[in-house]
């Protein structure tokens, strides 16, 4: 009378289930496989792109022609530790963060 019907229904199943570790590993297998696929499809390529972007930013030198995240195209005139000074027109120079550079253009692209 004091045992609810939910406990009464699960009691025989719990007593009969002897393969506890093996069944839990089998249940976790799809989760582990999904994480492995996620790592190779999304995480690893993103880390590779970040590493390439960091190397590109560190290699920027005076005279390079760059494109910023905002779409500004110009020639690097001065460098500082965290910023670049880009000439976007004759006599017009803007200061941008190094991380805002998305692409280094081939020489002679900017006229």
Average pLDDT over residues 24-34: 88
Specify whether domain 61-105 bears CATH 2.30.30: yes
Res 6: pLDDT: 56
- HSE toward the beta carbon, residue 64, CA cutoff 13 A: 20
Q: pTM of the full predicted structure? A: 0.66
Indicate the pLDDT class of residue 106, thresholds 50, 70 and 90: very high
Domain ranges in the chain are 8-56, 61-105
Q: Determine which helix (DSSP H) or strand (DSSP E) holds 92, and give its type and residue range.
A: strand 92-97
**Running DSSP on this structure, what letter comes out for residue 100?**
G
**Residue 90 CA to chain centroid, in angstroms?**
37
Res 24: pLDDT: 82
Cβ neighbors of 95 (< 8 A, separation 6 or more) are 83, 84, 85, 86
């Amino acid at each position: 009378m004091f045992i609810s019907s939910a406990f009464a229904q699960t009691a025989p199943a719990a007593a009969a289930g002897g393969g506890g570790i093996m069944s839990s590993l089998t249940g976790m297998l799809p989760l582990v496989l999904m994480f492995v696929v996620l790592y190779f499809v999304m995480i690893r390529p993103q880390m590779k792109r970040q590493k390439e972007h960091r190397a590109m930013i560190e290699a920027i030198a005076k005279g390079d022609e760059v494109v910023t995240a905002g779409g500004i195209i110009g020639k690097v005139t001065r460098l500082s530790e965290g910023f670049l000074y880009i000439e976007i027109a004759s006599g017009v120079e803007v200061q941008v963060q190094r991380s805002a550079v998305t692409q280094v253009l081939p020489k002679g692209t900017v006229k």
